[in-house]
């Protein structure tokens, strides 16, 4: 629980955050400009946003990951370009930021991912001082057998070992429940995207949890909350994703997300308490 404090303390934390958001510009100047331009909205955009980013429950790198995922999912173009620059300031590599878009393509759709890519590219070109970006590496060209093997490995970590170890069996289980949607989810989402090394599975779970909460996908959260724990996220970190979404997806989505998260925790605890 956050301890009570003065406005001056909160504002000082926000100022430190904005020194990283807008390097080379005095935070006091940023604050004055925001209040002059937006009035009370500017006051809160500086103080509330800055104070949130200073919380210790997630690193600023983690917060950039989840914010970039949410802004991409919501098509927040201007903010996306700004936060791509912020993500670079927080230690994310360009390849890691671009990797977020693969999950956006899978969990939101290709149109959202393609649109987000264009705005991220503008920030990358500015950061690198170039007119055209290079250095992109295409995905591996995998056979279905290779995709199935990788998917089964991912599914074992997502489910904490409960998924079938044999790829053909695990694929058949998904096909039985979801038909051809299950085939595509198994081979592409799990077999190709989740198995890539450009982001850790912990980071991928963080990104996906943020996207699902921002979209109000409570049913999918029921699966991906325990998956995030299996991938190394702590309960406090998963709850902090929902806290961060208060300002980036709105309180209703954050409230629904927190309820889904705590329901998933309760189910895990109830299962653990069952006699064996």
Band of the pLDDT at 4, cuts 50, 70, 90?
confident
* Average pLDDT of the segment spanning 11-21: 94
Residue spans of the domains in the chain: they are 1-54, 144-273
* Average pLDDT of the segment spanning 204-220: 97
Which architecture does CATH list for 144-273? Up-down Bundle (1.20)
* Average pLDDT of the segment spanning 117-129: 95
Band of the pLDDT at 139, cuts 50, 70, 90?
very high
**pLDDT value at 134 more than 90:** no
- Token pair 């958001």 is found at 21
User: What pLDDT is attached to residue 273?
Assistant: 87
Band of the pLDDT at 168, cuts 50, 70, 90?
very high
**CB 267 within 8 Å of CB 223:** no
**pLDDT value at 164 more than 90:** yes
**CB 241 within 8 Å of CB 213:** yes
**pLDDT value at 240 more than 70:** yes
Nearest to 267 by CA among 233, 204, 225: 225
Angle at 264 between CA 233 and CA 261, to 5 degrees: 65
**pLDDT value at 87 more than 80:** yes
Band of the pLDDT at 276, cuts 50, 70, 90?
confident
Angle at 249 between CA 126 and CA 42, to 5 degrees: 65
Quote the pTM value.
0.95
* Average pLDDT of the segment spanning 165-170: 96
User: What pLDDT is attached to residue 2?
Assistant: 61
- DSSP track, 133-199: -----PPP---HHHHHHHHHHHHHHHTTT-S-SSHHHHHHHHHHHHTHHHHHIIIIIIIIITT-SSS
Tell me the two tokens of residue 66.
Answer: 């989840």
Provide the angle, in degrees to the nearest 10, between the axes of the packed helices 110-128 and 94-107. Answer: 170
Q: DSSP secondary-structure letter at 4?
A: P
**CB 159 within 8 Å of CB 230:** yes
Is 273 exposed, middle or buried (CB count within 10 Å of its CB: 0-12, 13-18, 19+)? exposed
Nearest to 202 by CA among 255, 171, 241, 167: 241
Band of the pLDDT at 78, cuts 50, 70, 90?
confident
State the distance between the two ends of the chain, measured CA to CA, in whole angstroms.
Answer: 35
Q: Which residues contact 9 (CB under 8 A, 6 or more apart)?
A: none
Nearest to 241 by CA among 262, 272, 271: 262
Q: Which ranges in the chain belong to alpha helices (H)?
A: 7-21, 27-38, 40-53, 60-74, 77-89, 94-107, 110-128, 144-158, 167-178, 180-184, 201-214, 218-230, 235-248, 251-273
* Average pLDDT of the segment spanning 175-202: 97
User: What pLDDT is attached to residue 5?
Assistant: 87
């Amino acid at each position: 629980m956050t301890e009570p404090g003065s406005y001056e303390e909160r504002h000082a934390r926000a100022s430190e955050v904005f020194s990283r958001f807008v390097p080379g510009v005095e935070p006091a100047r940023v604050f004055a400009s925001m209040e002059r331009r937006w009035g009370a909205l500017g006051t809160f955009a500086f103080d509330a946003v800055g104070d949130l980013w200073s919380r210790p429950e997630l690193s600023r790198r983690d917060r950039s990951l989840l914010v970039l995922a949410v802004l991409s999912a919501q098509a927040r173009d201007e903010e996306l370009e700004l936060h791509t620059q912020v993500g670079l300031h927080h230690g994310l590599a360009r390849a890691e930021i671009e990797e977020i878009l693969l999950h956006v393509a899978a969990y939101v759709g290709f149109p959202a991912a393609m649109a987000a890519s264009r705005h991220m590219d503008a920030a990358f070109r500015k950061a690198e001082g170039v007119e055209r970006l290079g250095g992109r590496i295409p995905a591996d060209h995998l056979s279905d057998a290779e995709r199935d093997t990788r998917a089964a490995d991912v599914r074992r970590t997502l489910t904490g070992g409960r998924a079938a170890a044999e790829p053909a069996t695990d694929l058949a289980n998904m096909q039985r429940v979801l038909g051809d949607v299950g085939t595509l989810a198994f081979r592409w989402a799990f077999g190709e995207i989740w198995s890539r090394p450009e982001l850790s599975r912990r980071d991928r779970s963080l990104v996906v949890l943020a996207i699902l909460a921002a979209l109000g996908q409570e049913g999918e959260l029921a699966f991906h909350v325990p998956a995030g724990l299996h991938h190394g996220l702590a309960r406090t970190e998963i709850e902090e994703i929902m806290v961060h979404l208060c300002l980036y997806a709105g309180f209703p989505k954050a409230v629904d997300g927190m309820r889904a998260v705590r329901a998933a925790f309760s189910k895990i605890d109830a299962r653990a308490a069952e006699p064996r």
